[in-house]
Structure 1
Amino acid sequence: MNTIPEIIANYQRIAEEGRRKLNKVQHEIYRTSTLRLLLFVTGVAGAIYFRSTGWIIPTCIIVAALLPFILLIKHHNRLFHRKDYLEKEIEINEQEVAALHYDTSSFEDGTEFIDPTHLYSFDLDLFGPHSLFQYLNRTSTQLGKKLLATWLNTHLENKVEIENRQEAVRELTPLLEFRQQFRILGLLHKGKAADENELKTWAGSPTVFRKRLLFRLLPWLAGGTNAICISLALAGILPVSVCGTVWVCFVSAGFCFTGRITKMQAVYGKKLQILATYANLLRLIECQPTKSPILNEVKAWIGGKKQTASHSIQCLSKLMNELDQRNNVFMYTILNGLFFWEIRQIMRIEKWKEQYASQLPQWLTAIAHMDALCSLATFAYNHPDYTYPCIVSHPFCLHARKLGHPLMHRDKCVRNDIDIRKRPFFITITGANMAGKSTYLRTVGVNYLLACIGIPVCAQQMEVYPALLITSLRTSDSLTDNESYFFAELKRLKLIIDKLQSGEELFIILDEILKGTNSTDKQKGSLALIRQFMTLQANGIIATHDLMLGSLADTFPDDIRNHCFEADITGDELTFSYHMREGVAQNMNACFLMKKMGIAVTD
């Protein structure tokens, strides 16, 4: 297993190799451009110099210069594609080095997925700047980004599904080259958020031209008529002017359909071009050997070894590129007049849709899953010190040693344990301000979530039973809904009670419940709430400043355990160890901090 310094060195090595290759490609681009210019100048100069000898020699010179010139254009395009690839390769490896130093600003943060009403994502800072999503996200397609957010928002609750996800992530983790190729190809031509729905809409839309016999016959009718006229003209039977008149008539008739075809091309043309990128991604998936059930299923979605998906999408991409030739007025006019080329081409695209459109959503799903899985595998690769949790089947269990928050610097993160092995069972956390209670709750919640989406956790060892996670850490009021903070919190608590009463298995994390009422009401309500949790066979953690909640451990000695985070006051100094201790907190620091800040406090 690589260490983090070795992983950083590996990313730096790949970036440095990429820079050397890029330098060579840039020099070759310069040489190719120069050679193209020389060929062009030589061809023109030769044709001019030998123009007095007749047309044969200048023509031969132009052809001799033109053929290698065209080949160099294609070579030049390949070099530019290689240049773009290497630049992106350097960029993503530099990003990984920065990420391993906790700078994830170059990755998308998923702000659009923030939902204050979600069961846990808002409380655990899953989305937004410096979020867990930004830390995890290495998706290169909008499809994968959306799916990764869905996985975070809807974690798995089935032991077998989690273990299958773990197996897929384990398989992809050492495949650095594959994962980077997938990411680079996706980033080179990244689509937009609406692409998926619009592609599916196009796939489900009815055909316009192929469903009518007249349109299917028109290209054959025009082509046959032109062929007959040209043959008769060559034979001297028909005047050439008649051929021209027939051709012009067909060109004019073609304009009747141009508006409708232009509209179709404008709406879906660019969307379908993104399929060229998807074809490259699908080819990568098709060529990659797989073992785990999930990865085998992904390959099955796209036709497995038959390479049905990539080949089919390549064909569609080629058809769309050919349709773009209609933007060349000269070629468009000639071909349309000869055999209604425009209608023929759009019907070929419609034929493709009839044959493959039903499979397109499945292909997109395969790309999304591989993209999201590669993100999870990159997280696992970058954290060789993390461990895969053991998923248990008997409720309830959450046992972890040296649990830390993945977003806290590895050299500064203070790690703590958690041990819940029965149902019902609650841990109450008391402690002073800034002593670490809220951080501990988020640490537990985030690692619980990581375990339930099938990736390694920031812990030395962990066992977990995958119940539904639900939190109430930062309930906010709502001016638009005329809803008070206290009422919003009550709604969340009511939701928890309703789920428990309906038989759902929950893991509950609460921070300072009933903050929006007076201390007597708060204490009475909190004690009643926890007693109800015990009756409903619930599991969870509650952090509070109310030391009276510690007395519940006397009422439920086997089902409630007290822990605390202390603030140590020595002389005029306040220190925090951030290590969780057993029992109820003894030191509170509010008055001490107020005095330190010059705020008068009456003893």
Structure 2
Amino acid sequence: MNGANIKQFYLNSIDEEKAKLIPLKKQIFIIATLRLLTLTLGIVICYLTWNNTLLTIAIALFFFFIFILLLNYYGKLIFKKKYSLTLIEISEDELKGLNYDFSAFDGAPEKIQAEHSYSFDLDLFGDRSFFQSINRTVTFSGKDYLARCILFPQKDREVILGYQKAIQELAKKLKYITHFRIMGKITQKEIHNSSKLTETYSHKNLLYKNKFWAILTYIVPLSYIVLLILFLTGLISAIYFIPLWLVTFTISSFSIKPINSILDIFDKKTDILTTYSQLLQIIEDEKFHSTLLTSNQDLTHSQIKASLAIKKLERYCSNLNMGLSYPVILFFNPVLFWNVNYAIKVEKWLEKYQNEIPKWMESTAHMDALCSLSIFAFNHPEYIYPTIITEHFTFTGKNLGHPLIPENTCVKNNVSIDKDSYFLVITGANMAGKSTYLRTIGINHVLACMGAPVCASSLEFYPGNLFTNLRTTDSLADNESYFFSELKRLKMIIDRLQSGERLFIILDEILKGTNSEDKQKGSLALMKQLISLQGNGIIATHDLVLGSLENEYPENVKNYCFEADITENRLTFTYKIREGIAQNMNATFLMKQMGITGL
């Protein structure tokens, strides 16, 4: 399936759902009308038969039964309508995304970290970011998991292969992925941090294992049964129910405080678990083949399926809330100790499953993140899954492009680093494409380590630790100059190399914050140190003197350039990388063209 077919797929989905909505809206109107007629007709007939009590009760029950059936059917139709509308919304958002408008998706600006090894330099988070372009998560924990995949990519070959297989499998299950996303959007009550959610359920027992309340839950109902038998056999008067009720009502009132404490724990959080319950059931019911997906599915199983366990909790909490309403609080509580019973059930559930909840959240988050990566793969069928090399450092590929640059304007380039302690030195004019090239390499390295497909026709890579320095800034808050901030970042690289880390280093214009002479000396010294420490990477610079390193270190340095061509007083760029050192610089030319200098 190519790009045009992908767009047509989403257009067809929109047309199909819009066609479904036409008869669906008519059905909803008809059922709503029938509900009103049923209610009205039931009231009228009951009024006419009011003198015949039994007949009135029978008619009332009949119409009530019909009304409930219509109400349930109405609810199902409303759900179908929401489902279709959400599917249309998702398809429209994907069409926008295919046109490089990612505004419908969350770019997670809160994840921007200037001190991170590469995320700030590569524009991974925020508006119009890489994360925004791939993020399709429907839960907070899923978004967080996807962000962690980007910030802390995998380095183990087998793990990356596992992600590749999982993404490939899910990319063929677009109907399944879409269903997961729709259910997440429909049932989602609020965004909630799952780590805090799991902490919520670390609860100390208030009623469970308390012998006093445990005994009363048996003794009180039994007392009423005994009294009822004695009353029916004529041994006692019904008046004895009054003192028993007063005593049991008073005792049950003492449980209100701990019960409210239990309810406070679940305030709105059971609704969130309902969202996870729906998504967990989708995970549980699907048949997977890849090891990563099946092992993730295993997290949802303990003594009982996670979705079923959560539904039990929902039922317990619903009944517990009911115990504080009328008439339950006046009858069921003192007679059956309703609220105490269900409070104990909730606490027993917590004791049994509180250690499982983090696993369920993790499974859902994992699947949520994998769905995002699989949609990315589905939307880019021309992307390829790279080959992982672990014997030595490698980053060798053909026709690499940046996934955020539209296909019709994206100029693709090759890269070749096929041994340890090896650097590409890239010289070139302003605006010729050096920075875009560096970010293209960086973003594809991140994708490769995540197990996702990359924008290239071929790629072999070593899953090392990426470290970039493309956008150093000064810090007024920390009283740091631009130059000192850059030095700190370069020091981090040296320290990590000296500790034995295998780094993939991408630097743009070393020592920008100092004068030309210092810059040249410092840049040459730094490059020699990086080579001696077995570093690997790409250095972009305006300093042509760095090109001399290829003569001094022919086994460790290779020169490439991006040229600016000046023909008939016109400046043009090919944005294609070439071997050798740049010959044309364009700063003076541009200044003259803009009238800034009289040269």
Q: TM-score range by the shorter chain?
A: over 0.9
Q: What residue number does 1:462 align with? A: 459
TM-score, structure 1 normalization: 0.96
Deviations 1:178-208 (A, max 9, x none): 1011111111232555441233223332222
Contact 1:102-1:407 within 8 A present in 2 as well: yes
Displacement of 1:81 after TM fit?
2.0
Report the Cα distance in structure 1 between the residues aligned to 2:369 and 2:243, rounded to whole angstroms: 59
Q: What residue number does 1:239 align with? A: 237
Contact 1:550-1:584 within 8 A present in 2 as well: yes
Displacement of 1:80 after TM fit?
1.9
Displacement of 1:218 after TM fit?
2.1
| 2:286 aligned residue (277, 285, 288) | 288
Residue range with higher mean Cα deviation, 424-433 or 186-195: 186-195
Displacement of 1:428 after TM fit?
0.9
Q: 1:332 to 1:25 in 2, by over 3 A?
A: farther
- Partner of 2:223, secondary structure, is helix
Displacement of 1:322 after TM fit?
2.2
Aligned pairs for 1:50-449 within 5 A: 50-52=49-51, 54-190=52-188, 192=190, 194-303=192-301, 308-326=305-323, 328-449=325-446
Displacement of 1:327 after TM fit?
5.2
Contact 1:199-1:272 within 8 A present in 2 as well: no
Report the Cα distance in structure 1 between the residues aligned to 2:61 and 2:190, rounded to whole angstroms: 43
Residue range with higher mean Cα deviation, 189-198 or 9-18: 189-198
Contact 2:424-2:538 within 8 A present in 1 as well: yes
Q: 1:518 to 1:128 in 2, by over 3 A?
A: same
Report the Cα distance in structure 2 between the residues aligned to 1:75 and 1:331, rounded to whole angstroms: 28
Displacement of 1:163 after TM fit?
0.9
Q: 1:426 to 1:191 in 2, by over 3 A?
A: farther
Percent same amino acid at aligned positions? Answer: 42
Residue range with higher mean Cα deviation, 556-565 or 412-421: 556-565
Aligned pairs for 1:506-585 within 5 A: 506-585=503-582
Residue range with higher mean Cα deviation, 147-156 or 568-577: 568-577
Amino acid at match of 1:10: F
Amino acid at match of 1:359: E
Contact 1:425-1:560 within 8 A present in 2 as well: yes
Amino acid at match of 1:114: I
Q: What residue number does 2:32 align with? A: 33
Report the Cα distance in structure 2 between the residues aligned to 1:94 and 1:482, rounded to whole angstroms: 47
Structure 2 portions without partners, runs of 5+:
none
Amino acid at match of 2:19: R
Displacement of 1:302 after TM fit?
1.6
Report the Cα distance in structure 1 between the residues aligned to 2:521 and 2:324, rounded to whole angstroms: 76
Does the alignment pair 1:5 with 2:4?
yes
Q: How many corresponding residue pairs?
A: 599
Displacement of 1:232 after TM fit?
2.9
Report the Cα distance in structure 2 between the residues aligned to 1:256 and 1:327, rounded to whole angstroms: 13
Report the Cα distance in structure 1 between the residues aligned to 2:79 and 2:433, rounded to whole angstroms: 51
Q: What residue number does 1:474 align with? A: 471
Report the Cα distance in structure 2 between the residues aligned to 1:342 and 1:25, rounded to whole angstroms: 41
Contact 1:198-1:271 within 8 A present in 2 as well: no
Report the Cα distance in structure 2 between the residues aligned to 1:433 and 1:326, rounded to whole angstroms: 73
Displacement of 1:251 after TM fit?
2.6
Amino acid at match of 2:208: R
Report the Cα distance in structure 2 between the residues aligned to 1:279 and 1:446, rounded to whole angstroms: 35
Structure 1 portions without partners, runs of 5+:
none
Report the Cα distance in structure 2 between the residues aligned to 1:593 and 1:255, rounded to whole angstroms: 84
TM-score, structure 2 normalization: 0.97
Report the Cα distance in structure 2 between the residues aligned to 1:536 and 1:590, rounded to whole angstroms: 35
Does the alignment pair 1:21 with 2:13?
no
Residue range with higher mean Cα deviation, 457-466 or 578-587: 578-587
- Partner of 1:215, secondary structure, is helix
- Partner of 1:331, secondary structure, is coil
